[in-house]
Amino acid sequence: MSVSIVEKATFGHDFARLDAEYVERDSLAHEQGLRGKFDGAQLASLVAPIDPDDRKVKAAFQDSNKPIRYLAIDGVDTDDGLSFDTAFEAFEELPSRAQYLVQSGDILVSNVRPNRGAVALVRADQTGFVASSGFTLLRLADNAPVSSDYLFALLKTPLMRDQLVRRSRGSMYPAVVRGDVLDLFIPMPDPVVAEKVSDFMVRARQLHAEFFQKKQVSRTMLDKLLSDIGSPPSPLETRRIDVDWTEVDANSMFRDGSAERLDAEFFRSEYFEFDVRCKAAGTTFVLGEHFELSPGRALAASTDTTFYAKQGILTNVGINWAAIEESEGRPAKSAWKLREGDILLACTAHEIAYVGKRVDVISAIPGWLGEEIGCVPDLMILRPKPAGSSYLSLQYVAAFLRSPSGLHQVQRCIRGLRGGHVYKNDLERFVRVPLPKEAWMRKFDAVETQAELIRNEAKHTVASAVSCISNMLA
């Protein structure tokens, strides 16, 4: 049993909180040691007040026809603070937590589970994005004696994370409020350290830009490849100027080997026309020829915990393992456990437009996750068959499924009136994928590999910036 004896003054004059963890001896000693060793200031004195205009999300977007880019807590990679957004087609679809309009240089600190260290530095290309109220938004004042690069890297150090954890409230679902974050003590940096941190962060931003540029190169390659076959229309629209109708006989719906469904949208002639174009353009395959498919499964009851993947780990540019959750229960014996080489596809959504919208390849699994990783039924696992193509790129297949040519085929398979699900048997039989020449495929894969190497270098670079400050604080 740990016992701490503290002075009444430690709680402050207003006794706003009396929880023992707030004055836990070791954590308190570390922070007091920091205050005695460094000149510094409370974070509240370094940041600007939140401008009311930063909260006017409704005014900014309710009449807009452009997609709204939203930053959520599970979109932050805790390794390097890179944040991935979700695009919403209409203001009404935004989560109720959508609160802040952000700009370049803003820092977003997750209020929930502060021990995770989910801190993001907003990039220049994210100006005007909307961020969740689950973050504390920090925007440095014009006269602040520190840079946003330094503050970001500082907030990712173990010592600063400990300060946040000490201030967290609640045991089952620990969280901090804005006032707790602003109460943090910010040590002023040594000029040499500040310069080193700045150099590392400038390089990290360059690497992040290069990463997204490489991803754009591969998207351009794919767009050019698919330009001749185009795509079927989304289930939500038509490209015909007259009445959109298709004559279907009963045998197409009910004979052996048929789709065994009645919904008219599935039998629209545009899907059959796309299939013909696709096959006429060259070699193709349906997913079931090269992949086995299985949806995730609910966890079996157990007092143990397991890492459990949800749709939040998908970013469309690589798995964000930092967003995986640890849940009570164990994977069922018959459930597939995630492994390297799997493709994960979002197979369930409340709105048709978002079914299949996220697809990523598991290129590597961090060692700390172990081998018993389950996933929710809202994710479909595509696992390559051993006897598949010798040169088929998994990154290519995932990119194709994200493109309109693949996405609209996936969405065609939806069963359900509002949103709904896609099922493995339908995807295996009715999603057709072009098989490019081997030379093209290897070039595409090389670009994707370069992007991943750049991403890993960015993580190491940010870690170096954090280490500089940790060494200064030691």
Domain parsing of the chain, residue ranges: 42-188, 221-447
Residue 18 has pLDDT above 80, yes or no: no
Can you give the pLDDT at residue 10? 63
Can you give the pLDDT at residue 282? 92
pLDDT tens across 279-330, in order?
Answer: 999 999 999 999 999 999 999 999 999 999 999 999 999 999 999 999 999 9
Q: pTM for the whole thing?
A: 0.89
User: Is the CB of residue 67 less than 8 Å from the CB of residue 85?
Assistant: no
* Residue 59: how many other CB atoms lie within 10 Å: 10
Looking at residues 168-196, what average pLDDT do you find? 90
Percentage of the chain with pLDDT > 70?
93
Structure tokens at 416: 């359900």
Tally of CA atoms within 13 A in the half-sphere of 209 that contains its CB:
9
Amino acid present at 313: I
pLDDT tens across 51-74, in order?
Answer: 777 678 888 887 778 889 999 999
Exposure of 53 by Cβ count < 10 A (0-12 exposed, 13-18 middle, 19+ buried)?
A: exposed
Can you give the pLDDT at residue 43? 96
Amino acid present at 152: F
Residue 169 has pLDDT above 90, yes or no: no
Can you give the pLDDT at residue 134? 94
Residue 393 sits at φ, ψ, to 5 deg, of -85, 125
Residue 275 has pLDDT above 90, yes or no: yes
Residue 257 has pLDDT above 90, yes or no: no
Looking at residues 183-200, what average pLDDT do you find? 95
In the three-class reduction of DSSP (H, G, I as helix; E, B as strand; rest coil), residue 339 is classed as coil
Looking at residues 384-388, what average pLDDT do you find? 86
Confidence of residue 417 (pLDDT cuts 50, 70, 90): low
Share in percent of the chain as helix, strand, coil (round to 5) = 40, 20, 40
Cα–Cα distance list, 234 to 1, 108, 264, 276, 433 (Å)? 61, 35, 14, 18, 17
Can you give the pLDDT at residue 258? 78
Can you give the pLDDT at residue 436? 96
| Rounded Cα gap, residues 246 and 276, in angstroms | 16
In the three-class reduction of DSSP (H, G, I as helix; E, B as strand; rest coil), residue 23 is classed as helix
Can you give the pLDDT at residue 412? 94
Can you give the pLDDT at residue 466? 97
Looking at residues 96-107, what average pLDDT do you find? 93
User: Is the CB of residue 359 less than 8 Å from the CB of residue 398?
Assistant: yes
> What's CA 269's distance to the chain center, in Å?
35
Higher pLDDT: 172 or 320? It is 320
Query: For residue 381, which of 267, 454, 291 has the smallest C-alpha distance?
Result: 291
42-188 topology per CATH:
Adenine-n6-DNA-methyltransferase TaqI; Chain A, domain 2 (3.90.220)
Higher pLDDT: 244 or 412? It is 412
| Rounded Cα gap, residues 435 and 391, in angstroms | 10
Can you give the pLDDT at residue 6? 66
Which range is least confidently modeled, 30-44, 139-153, 244-258, 385-399?
A: 244-258
| Rounded Cα gap, residues 111 and 328, in angstroms | 23
Same fold for the domain at 42-188 and the one at 221-447? Answer: yes
User: Is the CB of residue 466 less than 8 Å from the CB of residue 151?
Assistant: no
Looking at residues 85-96, what average pLDDT do you find? 86
Can you give the pLDDT at residue 227? 95
Residue 461 has pLDDT above 60, yes or no: yes
Packing angle of the helix pair 269-281, 404-412 (nearest 10 deg): 140
Domain boundaries 221-447, corresponding CATH code: 3.90.220.20
pLDDT tens across 335-368, in order?
Answer: 999 999 999 999 998 888 889 999 999 999 999 9
